[in-house]
């Protein structure tokens, strides 16, 4: 570990040339405590077999020179011994060329490639199957994802799988180092995950390209370690494995509980999964336009429901309960850019906003009283708490929310806000799709019409997550360690 005094003597412009950012931050100490998953990226015949269609890239030669396959096996074995899940990726396009659309650049480019290399990147062929030597170490419980692009995240359900597993760190192996491996590590970094690349369990066209890619990653994106170093680090890994067997339920008892009106969320005992260190509290669109009787959206009547049900006071109670247990509070508000800079003339969006502003001048615009946090709740916001601005319904779309939650190690959300059937619902649905365990505070939400509020809560409880009143949530939070 480099001492602070040593860095102070260095030329700031050369620190990152001489040292790894992640080494300076002592990444190993963090890694030992983080739930991890092993990714094995694109170890398939087309690149790793000397008879593969992409053998001319010579990845198979480089893999042999550095012992990539054997090192992958060693890493896989060590991860299994620590209970670390293994997820494999294969890159291909759909069988029969169903996703090759004539007349598009992508379609014509792939047609050109397949003129030169018949069946290149084709699903359900020997070419895109896992390389034979690695098939031997695959297990039935392993997950295999098909991807169509470079990053293992794009167009797959990897995000949801990782969130469901509570993953905060990735061990990355595979090919090609400077393409699919690098793309995946970059995506992981942008999501707030610690992605550790195992240098000699990866390969590309030659050693020079391989080393340059590793150096790019090591400087600012994620730590790089060799197989021996990783195996040594895993000896100190402190995260207990997940249960190997599914939880058993007695069908008769489940039937009796359902007959008494219990929801599936109650039967599975949702509160036993609530952990303070893995939870965040989201307050959605608690702003003047919704909650003040003089707000631009006062005609909707959400402010009336909020007063009648005590929703604002319930938000306050939940904020205080969460803070008492160290649960981070994140505030979200909806607005367009100040002055309408993101309302582009000639677009459908601009036409819609023009109609809205003809009736409600200045509605939804940033830096206005209207879109500020409701005046009764604004004093609650602490200086160290995040206020996230969004342009659409969901708090996830076009915002850094998910990255923040990953950095915080959050896999559980308590959600409240306004309007129940619009921004709250969009956020809750997307949170669930991303793998977050999501709890809705029923009486800390409001919308225009009571029936719409109740129908939205029923949708949440049936298929998304528990819907719990504030009183019970406060009591439950208060019992957390």
Mean pLDDT over 419-429 rounds to: 97
Interatomic CA distance for residues 279 and 322, integer angstroms: 9
> In whole angstroms, what is the distance from residue 129 CA to residue 123 CA?
8
Of 451, 398, 387, 399, the residue nearest 421 (C-alpha): 451
Output the CA–CA distances (angstroms, integers) from residue 282 to 20, 272, 327, 363, in the order listed. Answer: 35, 20, 10, 23
**Contact status, residue 175 vs residue 68, Cβ threshold 8 Å:** yes
Residue 162, pLDDT score: 96
pLDDT surpassing 60 at residue 4: no
* Helical segments of 221-310, H only: 227-234, 251-259, 264-267, 288-291, 302-309
Mean pLDDT of 257-267: 88
Residue 346: pLDDT band with limits 50, 70, 90: very high
How confident is the model over 31-72, as pLDDT tens digits? 999 999 999 999 999 999 999 999 999 999 999 999 999 999
Residue with the bigger pLDDT between 93 and 176: it is 176
Q: In the CATH hierarchy, which fold is given to the domain comprising 4-234?
A: Rossmann fold (3.40.50)
Domain residue ranges of the chain, discontinuous segments joined by +: 4-234, 258-335+371-478
- Residue 217, number of CB atoms within 10 A of its CB: 26
The pLDDT score that the predictor gives to residue 437 is: 95
Radius of gyration of the chain (CA): 26
Q: How far is 167 from 278, CA to CA, in rounded Å?
A: 11
Looking at residue 286, its pLDDT comes to: 97
Specify the pLDDT at position 262: 84
Residue 240 CB burial class (10 angstroms; 0-12, 13-18, ≥19): exposed
What pLDDT does residue 252 have? 93
DSSP 241: P
- Over the stretch 111-124, which tens digit does the pLDDT of each residue have? 888 888 887 888 99
Task: Please tell me whether residue 275 adopts helix, strand or coil conformation.
Answer: coil
Q: How many CB atoms are closer than 10 A to CB 105? A: 8
Residue 215 has pLDDT above 60, yes or no: yes
Q: What is the structure's pLDDT at 7?
A: 59
CATH topology identical between 4-234 and 258-335+371-478 = yes
Express as a percent the part of the chain with pLDDT over 70. 96
Residue reference for tokens 């109609």: 355
pLDDT digits (tens, 9 = 90+) for 150-189: 999 999 999 999 999 999 999 999 999 999 999 999 999 9
CA distance 138 to 372: 53
pTM score of the predicted model: 0.90
- Reference 312, options 197, 422, 180, 444; nearest CA is 444
Q: How far apart, in whole angstroms, are the C-alpha atoms of residue 461 and residue 455?
A: 10
Return the pLDDT at 117: 87
* CA 176 to chain centroid: 24
Rounded CA-CA distance 307/309 in Å is 6
**Cβ(393)–Cβ(328) under 8 Å?**
no
Least confident of 106-120, 316-330, 456-470: 106-120
Q: Label residue 6 by pLDDT band (50, 70, 90).
A: low
CA separation, residue 95 to residues 104, 123, 149, 426, 469 (Å)? 18, 5, 15, 34, 49
Query: What's residue 385's pLDDT?
Result: 97
3-state SS class at 40? strand
CATH number of this structure's domain 258-335+371-478: 3.40.50.850
Looking at per-residue pLDDT, the higher value among 314 and 25 belongs to: 314
Cα angle for residues 157, 79, 268 (degrees, 5° grid): 55
Alpha-carbon distance 181 to 200, whole Å? 12
Give the number of other CB atoms < 10 A from CB of residue 136.
Answer: 9
Confidence band for 264, pLDDT divided at 50, 70 and 90? confident
Across 126-130, average pLDDT: 96
């Amino acid at each position: 570990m480099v001492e602070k005094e040593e860095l102070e003597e260095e030329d700031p412009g050369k620190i990152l040339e001489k040292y790894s950012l992640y080494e300076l931050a002592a990444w190993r100490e963090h890694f030992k405590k983080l739930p991890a998953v092993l990714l094995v990226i694109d170890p398939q015949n087309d690149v790793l077999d000397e008879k593969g269609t992409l053998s001319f890239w010579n990845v198979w030669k480089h893999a042999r020179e550095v012992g990539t396959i054997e090192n992958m096996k060693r890493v896989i074995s060590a991860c299994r011994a620590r209970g670390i899940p293994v997820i494999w990726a294969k890159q291909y396009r759909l069988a029969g060329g169903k996703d090759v659309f004539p007349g598009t650049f992508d379609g014509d480019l792939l047609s050109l490639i397949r003129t030169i290399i018949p069946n290149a990147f084709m699903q359900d062929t020997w070419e895109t199957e896992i390389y034979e030597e690695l098939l031997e170490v695959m297990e039935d419980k392993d997950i295999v994802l098909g991807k169509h692009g470079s990053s293992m995240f794009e167009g797959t359900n990897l995000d949801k799988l990782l969130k469901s597993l509570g993953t905060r760190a990735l061990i990355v192996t595979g090919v090609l180092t400077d393409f699919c491996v690098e793309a995946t590590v970059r995506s992981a970094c942008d999501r707030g995950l610690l992605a550790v690349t195992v240098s000699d369990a990866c390969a590309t066209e030659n050693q020079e390209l391989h080393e340059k890619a590793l150096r790019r990653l090591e400087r600012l994106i994620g730590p790089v370690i060799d197989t021996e170093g990783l195996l040594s680090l895993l000896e100190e890994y402190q995260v207990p494995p997940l249960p190997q067997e599914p939880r058993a339920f007695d069908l008769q008892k489940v039937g009796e509980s359902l007959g008494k009106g219990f929801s599936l969320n109650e039967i599975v005992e949702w509160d036993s999964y609530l952990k303070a260190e893995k939870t965040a509290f989201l307050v959605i669109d608690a702003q003047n336009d919704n909650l003040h009787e003089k707000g631009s959206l006062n005609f909707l009547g959400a402010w009336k429901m909020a007063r009648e049900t005590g929703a604002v006071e319930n938000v306050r109670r939940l904020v205080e309960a969460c803070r008492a247990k160290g649960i981070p509070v994140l505030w979200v508000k909806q607005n367009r850019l100040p002055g309408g800079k993101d309302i582009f003339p000639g677009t459908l969006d601009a036409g819609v906003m023009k109609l809205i502003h003809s009736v409600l001048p200045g509605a939804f615009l940033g830096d206005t009283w209207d879109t500020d946090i409701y005046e009764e709740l604004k004093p609650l916001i602490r200086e160290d708490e995040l206020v996230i601005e969004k342009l659409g319904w969901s708090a996830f779309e076009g915002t850094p929310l998910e990255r923040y939650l990953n950095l915080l190690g959050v896999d559980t959300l308590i959600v409240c806000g306004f309007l129940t059937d619009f921004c709250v619902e969009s956020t809750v649905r997307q949170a669930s799709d991303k793998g977050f365990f999501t709890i809705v505070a029923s009486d800390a939400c409001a919308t225009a019409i009571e029936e719409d509020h109740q129908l939205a809560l029923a949708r949440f409880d049936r298929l998304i997550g528990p819907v719990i009143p504030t009183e019970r949530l406060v009591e439950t939070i208060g019992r957390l360690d």
